[in-house]
């Protein structure tokens, strides 16, 4: 009887060890599967970001990356390409805010300027975000310009250029020319350009006429 009890105890212990080993193996297999899924998901996400013209970034995340924040783990070449396209995105956003303000001022119906805009580019559409203070300033420039004669646009241009300089410097973009030069051009400059174009056209026409007479 004692031998049988001993053998039964050994069998019970053996079965228990086998059960523990099976549970351990199942747990390890599950852990390996979960890790594999995580790695594959990371690889897929990285691949999608690298193929996307905006690296999967939009709105404030895009702005933060352009300002040099949160760039860890991003592909440097893709980031460099995106930085080359970002000035167009930022310029379109600034222009949209100014146009919105101008139109609202013309109608006499102010609205809340949106610091997030969906910007269309040749590479696709992306949400652009800028700080609310600069969004409000650009909108207000448009609103004030629509209700003021051009002779009084000096302070408005200064305010616009200040907002533009802040945005461009924060986004680490070379500020080659003030925003007001193309959003609020001086009428005399426009007239001068048109006159220059007209003179060129006259010269071309005269040259063509002389050529015809000679022939």
Q: What is the pLDDT of residues 45-75, one digit of tens each?
A: 554 444 566 888 999 999 999 999 988 878 8
Cα 20 versus chain centre, distance? 54
One domain for residues 77 and 24: no
Higher pLDDT, 17 or 140: 140
One domain for residues 139 and 63: yes
One domain for residues 13 and 82: no
- Residue 90 inside a domain? The answer is yes
| Residue 94: domain span | 59-184
Residue 149: pLDDT above 90? Answer: yes
The residue to which tokens 């599950």 are assigned = 30
- Provide the b/e sequence for 185-198 (b: ≥16 CB within 10 Å): eeeeeeeeeeeeee
One domain for residues 114 and 8: no
Instruction: Please give the Cα distance from 19 to 199 (Å, whole number).
Output: 96
Closest C-alpha among 129, 121, 50, 69 to residue 94: 129
Q: Where residue 205 falls among pLDDT bands split at 50, 70, 90? A: very low
Q: Where residue 141 falls among pLDDT bands split at 50, 70, 90? A: very high
The domain total for the chain is 2
One domain for residues 1 and 94: no
One domain for residues 5 and 72: no
- pLDDT at 170 (0 to 100): 95
Q: Please report, to the nearest 10 degrees, the dihedral formed by the alpha carbons of residues 83, 88, 92, 94 taken in order.
A: 60
Q: 119 - beta bridge partners?
A: 126
């Amino acid at each position: 009887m004692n031998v049988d009890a001993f053998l039964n105890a050994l069998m019970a212990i053996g079965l228990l060890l086998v059960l523990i080993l099976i549970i351990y193996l199942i747990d390890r297999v599950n852990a390996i599967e979960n890790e594999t899924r995580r790695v594959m998901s990371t690889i897929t996400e990285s691949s999608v970001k690298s193929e996307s013209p905006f690296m999967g970034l939009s709105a404030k995340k895009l702005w933060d990356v352009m300002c040099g924040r949160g760039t860890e783990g991003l592909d440097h070449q893709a980031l460099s390409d995106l930085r080359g396209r970002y000035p167009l995105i930022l310029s379109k956003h600034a222009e949209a805010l100014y146009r919105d303000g101008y139109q609202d001022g013309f109608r006499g119906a102010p609205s809340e300027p949106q610091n997030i805009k969906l910007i269309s580019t040749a590479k696709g559409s992306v949400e652009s975000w800028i700080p609310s203070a600069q969004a409000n300033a650009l909108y207000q420039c448009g609103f004030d310009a629509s209700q003021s004669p051009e002779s009084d646009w000096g302070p408005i241009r200064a305010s616009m250029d200040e907002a533009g300089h802040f945005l461009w410097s924060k986004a680490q973009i070379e500020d080659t020319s003030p925003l007001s030069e193309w959003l609020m051009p001086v009428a005399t400059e426009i007239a001068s350009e048109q006159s220059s174009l007209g003179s060129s056209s006259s010269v071309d026409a005269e040259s063509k006429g002389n050529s015809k007479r000679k022939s």
